[in-house]
Structures are given as structure tokens and as C-alpha cells.
Structure 1
């Protein structure tokens, strides 16, 4: 079986070693307000446990979750019991999803509350990474709220190992990298505006996680071309990319994604 075990790599200077593909877990906890082309059924505990076991077998050690992902965190806690050292867990702060609606809070009090709640839900005493879940007002959040300084304190206290920003603008991503360890950016066949953030992260030793690498399942290309391969060639062709987060609950898709990523990463990387 093709796996990513031999392709794990450092995530910037965070000290974290991650698989080039991470498993996004929004579909373990939420089926409302998600931007996928088709509907889906949230997997039950047995299916979720099997999916996590398969991911681990395939060499994936990176999990991406968030308070805004419905019940994702609280489900992952019991599912990952006894496996904490096997996973790099990334969660978020700033966005809450309640009654089908998102609301945002970047205050110091909420940031600390959110991280401590994630620790309880995930049944762990530390998070490997916490990212700010931006509402799109990236510069406003970074310049005029206490979220980043609160995350810095939480890192000093040992509750989180690294922190960063999941934003929506180049300016926000660049500013976030000045004080943070990592940025999560959108980078795919359709959207490449945030490439300067990846370039800057590479130059400054910061980590990059890519979201929407497959355009949330909407990746498209000319007839006859393989959009998945082209997507991975683009994303992994940039040496600044640490990992791409792909959310799937389909074991067959997971195996195919890993096989293709391993094949692409086995080829020479292009700048």
C-alpha cells in the first residue's frame, strides 16, 4: 500500500513534523452551511474510527478541526484516545457556528475560553497548532484585537505549540507571518492570489498549510486532464507548502489522494 510515512516533513520552524496531506474533519461534525458540490451523511463513530485508522495507516498524521466544525472536536476526543502522540492536531479560534450561523469573537477572553474548550473536547493537554479563523477582515483582526497576543501567551504557557492565521487576504497573511508560526492559505487551480504569502513563508522559515487545495471538491480543468493530479502538482510544486488539508470521509478517495500525492511528491519539486 502506498503511504506518506517517508514523505513527512517539517512545518516551517514550528518543530512539528507533518504529512504532506492532512485530513480535514468538518464532515465529521457539520453538514450545514458547507461549500461542497454534493450533500453527504455525517459518518457514525465506527465509520469515523475506521477512517482515522486508515489515515494513520496511510501515513497521515495531521488532523485539522475547529470549534466551527459542529461536533468535530468533541467526536475526535474519544476517537483518538490512546493515540495522541500519533497525531499533529490543528484547531482554530475566532469562529463559532450555532443554529446554522457563524459568529466571530477575537477577544482575549473568548480566545482563551475557546482554546481551553478545545483541549477539553479533544481530551488533550496541548494543541499542536491553533489558527485564527478569520471572517475576512484580516488586518482589522491582527491590528485591533487581542487574539494573537493571547495565542502567544497560551504558547508560552505550553497549552499550544504553535499558532497562526487562516485568512483570506494577502495583506493579512503577510502580517500574520510576522508574529505567527504558520499561515493557512487558499491555493488551488482556480485561486492563486495568496501565493505571495507562501513565498514569504518560505523566505522566513514559517509554515504553510493549504486549504481548499481541491477547491472544496470543485477542482476543474480542461477535458482529458486529471484535476486532482494537476491540483497536487500545483500545491506541492511550491517548496513553501508544508501540507494540504483535504477533507474527505470516503476511504476510497483517501487512498487515491494519498497514492497520487505520493506519486507527485516522488517527482522533482518545482519552485
Structure 2
């Protein structure tokens, strides 16, 4: 008798548009590493300690996950990652600019001066000399942000100088996503079983060979509260990862069991 088949426990990866970056089909969102106020998750939570984060990062890395999503608006997330990450070259780090979070409140600044200062601060906080991806963190007025500010142009200059490897837009509207595709490398859009309005952006990105990252694959955790959690995870990730043009879904968690379930589902989807 032959040996029993061994199930692969490594996440598949995909190329992110024309950036040349290879990303795991599941990325780790790190809001909960640094911020637990003013968030839209269904349950309250305490911030993890350093050892919990180290173990979570090791767990993710062991399964081939290489994409981390952070932002200045995620409280202390960038600083904590900077001090806790091992093997910088393993990770594709995505941060953002535009939204700030201080004293429990968010505010937005899309000026060239702020954009440059924000990226430079992220480099210091993350203790790295380059960022793989920087996205504009939109306030929802996508077309106004793109057309009336020079945030994307500033990111283009920072790409030319090597501070960032690619840039794009995390928006909230179809019109904004389509416009951002004309001017940048990547879009981050919302997609889950109950929200599919931005599929035209994904389809256009695919036609242009631009990168697509997905946020809110589980509707900020609300989708998993319905039905059987493992089945719901599988259904939502399948709806996302089987959409042509999608490279990776960003899913945030600080629960090792949830991370394991998300990874298992993504591996099964392929």
C-alpha cells in the first residue's frame, strides 16, 4: 500500500497585478494589533500582548502567509509590527496614508505634505527602508480625493525614489475605484457574499492587469455570526478568492483558532 496523501498546509500565492509582488491568497489585517475603539467589529476585545502577536505572526508565516495590512489609523499597529517582525524579507507590508486616528477620533489629510510625512513615519515605525504597498485610505469621497488632491501623484514620486514599491487606493465607490485604476497599481475594494457592488472595479482591474486586494471579506466579522462559522468562512472566502482578478483577501484576527480556520479554508479553495 502507498503512503496516505499529505494535505498541503501552505497557502497558495498569486501575483499582484503588474507589481511583481507575489502575495499569499490570505493576508493578515492588523487593526486589532493596535486599536480597539471606534471600530466596527461585532464584539469588544482587548489588544493582544507582544507574545500573542509574535505567536500569531509565526503561525501565519508557518502556513506561507506573507501579506500584512496595517495603517496609521490602526493605532499602535505599525509600531508594534516594527518591533515584533522577524525576517522582513518574508513579508509584503501594505500600509496606508490619508486617515489619522488620535484621541479616539479619525481625521483625514490627503495633501502632498502629509502624504510624504505619513509614509516617512510609517517607514520609521515599521523599522524598514521600504514599503511594498501604500494605499490611500479614502474618507469615502473617492473622486474628490483622487481628483482634487495630489496624494496619488506624491505616492508615484515616492515609488520613483524607492521608498515604496507600489501604490494604490482603498476606496468605497465604484467610480473611485475605476478612476484610481487609471492612476495607480492597486485597488483595495470590499467584497463578500452580501456586498458585490464593486465587482466592476475588479473586472476592470483584471483587464488592465492591476492588483486587487479585498477588504471586509467577512463584513468586519458580522458575516461569521450567521450559521455555522466554519461553513460561513468557507462560503465568504470562496466568493472572494474565486472572483477572477483578485489576488488576496485581507482578514483581520487576533484569535489563533480563527486564523487557522481562515487559512484552512483558503488552502482548500486554492
CA RMSD, 1 decimal: 1.4
Partner of 1:229: 234
Give the secondary structure class of the aligned counterpart of 1:18: strand
- Cα deviation per residue 1:203-246 (whole Å; 9 max; x = unaligned)? 11000000000101111698579221110111011121010000
CA spacing shift, 1:2–1:256, aligned 2, 3 Å: farther
Matched, 1:4 2:10: yes
Partner of 2:198: 194
- Between the aligned partners of 1:227 and 1:221, the Cα distance in structure 2 is 8
CA spacing shift, 1:98–1:222, aligned 2, 3 Å: closer
1:169 alignment partner, one of 168, 173, 188? 173
- Between the aligned partners of 1:223 and 1:148, the Cα distance in structure 2 is 41
Partner of 1:58: 63
CA spacing shift, 1:220–1:125, aligned 2, 3 Å: closer
Partner of 2:3: none
| Structure 1: runs of 5 or more not aligned | 266-271
2:122 alignment partner, one of 93, 110, 118? 118
8 Å CA contact 1:2–1:259 kept in 2: the answer is no
Partner of 2:162: 158
Partner of 2:4: none
Partner of 2:137: 133
Partner of 2:221: 217
Give the secondary structure class of the aligned counterpart of 2:72: coil
Partner of 2:109: 105
Moved more, 211-220 or 222-231: 222-231
Matched, 1:21 2:26: yes
8 Å CA contact 1:188–1:213 kept in 2: the answer is yes
Aligned structure 1 segments of 4 or more residues deviating by more than 4 angstroms = 220-225
| Structure 2: runs of 5 or more not aligned | 1-6
Partner of 2:185: 181
Partner of 2:73: 68
Matched, 1:32 2:7: no
Moved more, 151-160 or 212-221: 212-221
Q: TM-score, normalised by structure 1?
A: 0.94
Partner of 2:261: 256
- Cα deviation per residue 1:96-153 (whole Å; 9 max; x = unaligned)? 0011110000000000000000000000000000000000000001001010100000
Moved more, 64-73 or 234-243: 234-243
- Between the aligned partners of 1:2 and 1:54, the Cα distance in structure 2 is 15
- Between the aligned partners of 1:93 and 1:49, the Cα distance in structure 2 is 25
- Cα deviation per residue 1:182-217 (whole Å; 9 max; x = unaligned)? 000000011111110000011110000000001011
Give how far 1:23 is off: 0.1
Give the secondary structure class of the aligned counterpart of 1:54: helix
